[in-house]
Structure 1
Amino acid sequence: MESSRANLISDLAATLSHVPSKFVRPLGERPNLEEVVNHGVEEEVVEKMMKVSREFFELPERERVKWYSEDPLKTTRLSTSFNVKTEKVGNWRDYLRLHCHPLQNYINEWPTNPASFKSHVAHYCTHMRALSLLLLGAISESLGLDADYINTVLGQHGQHMAINYYPPCPQPDLTYGLPAHADPNVVTLLLQDQVSGLQVLIDGKWVAVDPVPNSFTVNIGDQMQVISNDRYKSVLHRAVVNCSKERMSIPTFYCPSPDAVIGPAPQLVDHHHPPHYTDFTYTEYYHNFWNRGLSRQTCLDIFKA
């Protein structure tokens, strides 16, 4: 129990006047501190999701730590950083990771405190799945593919989310909430509260993506880059922290099934557009992603054709 308490940032942040050495990034890797609307998801659904998420992280430590685990195979777990067993530098966040499709397979694992947690999160997850399917259909058609092409390629695809909590940080110029990385999945739908923290890399410069009320930020993931044969590119992004306000973000990750074979769509390969990647299973890809940790160096280089 003591080791779990020591690992949770949210329980340490209020007592600290400086960032512990474990969280201090090398000088060249420190942050420089100088969306979808009309989506059809009711505002009440979004508000309840954010409210119950905040209530979870406001619970006493003895309640939250019941869900703590460093086992990445657990489908419901509270943790911190990314891969605490391999990282040399920690990330300034705690997160609750939830698998949420098929919903009936996982909902009984979820926290029962707050009392409304399961109902509000399940309702939100259902809306996110519907929105993800619409988005995948639109992307398929934008590539000249059948509307259900990407959806079919993903197999018995999965969905999971992370409820991220970034406490105020006494020295935000020394660390990250999350370092630069591209998402490993197909697409990510990100819900943010009204505290800025997300940055994306555009033309070599980090640009803040300020929150827009009742909107979702869509991140293209590595699997979409492969399927589209580089027509779409995964987004390099990071999360910075601040010294005065807590921040919450809730990404929903839409993923292939572990045995799904990912490769460039044959319709997007021709004499002028050779395949940029070899075929691989999502399990192969994710194994490399997890062991490498969050990094600006993409795992896709391993699968270059």
Structure 2
Amino acid sequence: MFSNFLSISMAVEPPFFEKYKAILQSSAEMEKFPMVEVCEEIELPLIDLSGLNLGPFERQKCIEQMAEASSEWGFFQIVNHGIPEELLDRLKSEQMKVFHRPFDKKAGKNFLNLSAQSYRWGNPLATSLRNLSWSEALHISLKDVSRMDESNKLRLTIEEYATKANLLAQRLAECLAQNLGIKPNYFQENCSPSSSSLRMNRYPPCPYSSRMFGIIPHTDTDFLTILSQDQVGGLQLKRDGRWVSAKPNPNALVINIGDLFQALSNGMYESITHRVVANQEVERYSMAYFYCPTYETVIESCSKPALYRNFNFKEYREQIGKDVKATGDKVGLSRFLL
């Protein structure tokens, strides 16, 4: 009975041990990378969005709290955000069903009738433990959701969630832009409901958790990210030159600033490097909504002297692709400094 359970479990998991055998079996490789440091656990700034619906004083205070957190942390948590807990639970349930399908189905052609690049795992360019991500993901561009089977409960739940997440992201972005001189309708004009994307993550138990990551250090390529996660924990961010662990909050969503908002705000808000550490014993789930503009949207620093040259979103994405292919890593905003 145990062997049957094990075979079913192995059929679900991506073949990390086969794909990355040379890296995982190299003793020299293990010695090269010391154990991942134990980090201090901190609580991200927590902001109650109900203040936006109260009087002018409460609204302004709430906006100032978001702006301060975006400048000092690049991250904050929100409660009373308007996305029902029931919807988040339903989406996680569908997410778990997807990832518990056999690997050959997930990695096969036309999985969920999405593009071949939608299901991802590991890192095809990995050359060492420190650039191998022990995770799998379903990355869905919202313009492609309509291609999914209409009877698919996952599609219906994603559509419902995306509608609410888009409104929330727009609201947050407009609040953060309020004191930057950016016109009020900037995000409404440049971010269509289909220009954003949703990434569902699963982090399987990892026997090498002390020496590698669930997701390698990176910044997000968007205006802002709305993150829903479980209670396993593992999110870490680099603050003042050192890594800290963000304590998970069961009642909050996590918001973080992306590269585009850092450029748009002329460095007022910071896109912080973050990562996810692997867990040896339990699997972890998270879901990220990336609030993005259309490809033609020009990102121009809101004040002078500008730190970054003007660029459009398509150009930025293409440059990231070139850098990852050439170096195995994202270079990001430093490519666009004046």
Q: TM-score category by the smaller chain? A: 0.7 to 0.9
**Residue pairs, 1:238-257, within 5 angstroms:** 238-257=275-294
Equivalent-residue separation in structure 1 for 2:191 and 2:160 (angstroms): 23
Counterpart among 303, 307, 317 of residue 286 in structure 1: 317
1:75 Cα deviation (Å)? 7.8
In the alignment, is residue 78 of structure 1 matched against residue 115 of structure 2? no
Equivalent-residue separation in structure 2 for 1:21 and 1:304 (angstroms): 38
1:160-204 CA-to-partner distances (Å, cap 9, x unmatched) read 011111100011012111111111111111111111111011111
Distance 1:185 1:27, change over 3 A: farther
* Match in the other structure for 2:333: 300
Query: Is the deviation greater in 216-225 or in 143-152?
Result: 143-152
What letter is aligned with 2:266? Answer: N
What letter is aligned with 1:10? Answer: E
Equivalent-residue separation in structure 1 for 2:264 and 2:274 (angstroms): 21
Equivalent-residue separation in structure 2 for 1:196 and 1:92 (angstroms): 15
Equivalent-residue separation in structure 2 for 1:9 and 1:55 (angstroms): 11
What letter is aligned with 1:276? Answer: L
Counterpart among 112, 123, 127 of residue 88 in structure 1: 127
Counterpart among 130, 140, 145 of residue 107 in structure 1: 145
Equivalent-residue separation in structure 2 for 1:166 and 1:236 (angstroms): 19
SS in 2 for 1:91: coil
1:31 Cα deviation (Å)? 3.1
Query: Is the deviation greater in 143-152 or in 117-126?
Result: 143-152
Alignment size in residue pairs? 279
Query: Is the deviation greater in 29-38 or in 123-132?
Result: 29-38
Equivalent-residue separation in structure 2 for 1:125 and 1:196 (angstroms): 24
Equivalent-residue separation in structure 2 for 1:257 and 1:25 (angstroms): 43
1:108 Cα deviation (Å)? 3.5
**Residue pairs, 1:18-97, within 5 angstroms:** 20-22=21-23, 27=32, 31-34=36-39, 35-66=77-108, 74=115, 77-82=118-123, 84=124, 86-89=125-128, 90-97=132-139
* Match in the other structure for 2:200: 163
1:29 Cα deviation (Å)? 8.2
**Residue pairs, 1:150-229, within 5 angstroms:** 150-154=187-191, 158-229=195-266
Structure showing the higher helix proportion among its residues: 2
- Alignment gaps of 5+ in structure 2: 1-10, 40-76
Equivalent-residue separation in structure 2 for 1:58 and 1:259 (angstroms): 37
What letter is aligned with 1:223? Answer: L
Give the TM-score normalised by the residue count of structure 1.
0.81
**Residue pairs, 1:262-277, within 5 angstroms:** 262-265=299-302, 268-269=303-304, 274-277=305-308
1:132-163 CA-to-partner distances (Å, cap 9, x unmatched) read 11111111113243322344355787110111
Distance 1:98 1:236, change over 3 A: same
Equivalent-residue separation in structure 1 for 2:318 and 2:31 (angstroms): 26
What letter is aligned with 1:88? Answer: T
Give yes or no for contact 2:12–2:103 (8 Å, CA) kept in 1.
no
Task: Give the greater-gyration-radius structure (CA).
Answer: 2
1:297 Cα deviation (Å)? 6.5
Distance 1:277 1:21, change over 3 A: same
SS in 1 for 2:107: helix
What letter is aligned with 2:204? Answer: P
Equivalent-residue separation in structure 1 for 2:158 and 2:190 (angstroms): 27
SS in 2 for 1:36: strand
Distance 1:28 1:297, change over 3 A: farther
- Alignment gaps of 5+ in structure 1: 1-7
Determine what percentage of the aligned residue pairs are the same residue.
26
- Report the RMSD for the aligned CA atoms in angstroms: 3.0
Equivalent-residue separation in structure 2 for 1:12 and 1:242 (angstroms): 17
Give the TM-score normalised by the residue count of structure 2.
0.73
